[in-house]
């Protein structure tokens, strides 16, 4: 009885004490949002409409107490799933976002030496480049994660992009003790990655805990679901019976299939994704 009483007291004393790994991730992401908002002049958030960027918007609202104090940008390839456009139109209003839509150039303006799917994905890089130039953005939040892909695993939280959005992965700035590189010469912009340290599993656990809306394409229909969403023609569903978020979490705890296995552009050549990213792809 005695032990029970003291543990009860302890839990009352520590009510609200963060115990979960998700609380740590949330706190770190909020810190990054607030640093970027304070240090940079003209920032915006990239919203791909996927599970990660919805978590990212949620975290921004936590960081700024219900507000998203910068534009939210969707770089539209024009080839997304109808469910994605419906989601976008609804939540841009519901969440009171300062929404900007960017367009992408046609495929024949893109480097023909790229493998086909990568070339298609590169349209988005080009659209993004034009958007940055038009609006003079000096910082863009992007919802990439280290566990998604090996070159993303080498990213920084604050990642400088040179002329034309190029990523100099051979000479990245040091980043430690949460001191980020926020000083840079004109012509550079920063990609800021608040979700870099999150895993796919963290994203789903957090989505469930916070009750964040998602596009239904992630849930299994006829034995298949999308694990990652991109352009309709280069994104494929994977075998799955997970039709609720709970089931997705259970599936991910044991699966050995990689998250981006349904994204064609990653698999065309050994360095396809590296080349895309060096040119400014997320």
- Which residues would be at the binding site for other proteins (CB under 8 A)? 15-24, 26-28, 30-31, 34-35, 37-38, 61-67, 69, 146-147, 149-151, 153-154, 156, 169-170, 172-177, 179, 181, 183-185, 197, 199, 202, 205-206, 209-210, 249, 253, 256-258, 261, 270-271, 274
- With a CB cutoff of 8 Å and minimum separation 6, the contacts of 241 are 220, 223, 247, 251
Nearest to other proteins of 85, 95 (CB atom): 95
CB of 173 to other proteins, least distance (A): 6
How far is residue 16's CA from residue 47's CA, in Å, rounded to a whole number?
31
CB of 10 to other proteins, least distance (A): 13
| DSSP string over 18-36 | --SHHHHHHHHHHHHHHHH
Angle of helix 21-39 relative to helix 200-210, nearest 10 degrees, comes to: 90
Of the candidates 132, 140, 136, the one whose C-alpha atom is nearest the C-alpha of residue 33 is 140
Of the candidates 63, 46, 50, the one whose C-alpha atom is nearest the C-alpha of residue 100 is 46
**Residue 241, CB half-sphere, CA atoms under 13 Å: how many?**
0
| Cα torsion 141, 142, 145, 150: sign | negative
Nearest to other proteins of 64, 236 (CB atom): 64
Question: What tokens does 1 get?
Answer: 């009885």
CB of 29 to other proteins, least distance (A): 8
Bridging pattern class, strands 158-161 and 189-192: antiparallel
Residue 182 near residue 37, CB atoms below 8 Å? no
CB of 28 to other proteins, least distance (A): 8
Nearest to other proteins of 74, 156 (CB atom): 156
3-state secondary structure of 224: strand
CB of 234 to other proteins, least distance (A): 19
Q: Exposed, middle or buried: residue 100 (CB in 10 Å: 0-12, 13-18, 19+)?
A: middle
CB of 40 to other proteins, least distance (A): 12
CB of 82 to other proteins, least distance (A): 29
The H or E element containing residue 205 is helix 200-210
CB of 107 to other proteins, least distance (A): 25
């Amino acid at each position: 009885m005695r032990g029970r009483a003291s543990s009860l007291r302890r839990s009352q004393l520590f009510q609200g004490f963060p115990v979960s790994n998700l609380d740590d991730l949330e706190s770190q992401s909020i810190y990054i949002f607030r640093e970027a908002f304070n240090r940079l002049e003209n920032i915006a958030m990239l919203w791909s409409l996927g599970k990660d960027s919805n978590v990212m918007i949620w975290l921004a609202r936590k960081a700024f107490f219900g507000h998203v104090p910068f534009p939210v940008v969707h770089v539209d390839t024009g080839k997304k799933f109808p469910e994605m456009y419906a989601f976008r139109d609804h939540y841009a209003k519901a969440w009171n976002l300062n929404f900007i839509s960017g367009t992408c150039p046609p495929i024949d303006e893109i480097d023909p030496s790229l493998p086909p799917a990568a070339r298609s994905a590169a349209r988005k890089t080009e659209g993004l480049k034009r958007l940055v130039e038009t609006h003079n953005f000096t910082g863009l939040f992007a919802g990439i994660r280290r566990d998604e892909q090996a070159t993303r695993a080498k990213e920084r939280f604050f990642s400088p992009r040179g002329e034309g959005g190029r990523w100099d992965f051979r000479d990245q700035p040091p980043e430690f003790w949460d001191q980020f590189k926020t000083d840079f010469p004109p012509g550079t912009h920063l990609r800021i990655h608040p979700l870099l340290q999150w895993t796919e599993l963290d994203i789903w656990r957090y989505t469930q805990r916070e009750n964040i809306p998602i596009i239904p394409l992630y849930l299994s229909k006829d034995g298949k679901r999308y694990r990652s969403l991109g352009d309709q023609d280069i994104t494929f569903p994977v075998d799955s019976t997970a039709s609720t978020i709970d089931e997705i979490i259970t599936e991910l705890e044991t699966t050995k299939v990689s998250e981006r296995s349904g994204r064609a552009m990653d698999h065309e050549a050994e360095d396809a994704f590296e080349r895309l990213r060096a040119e400014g792809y997320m």
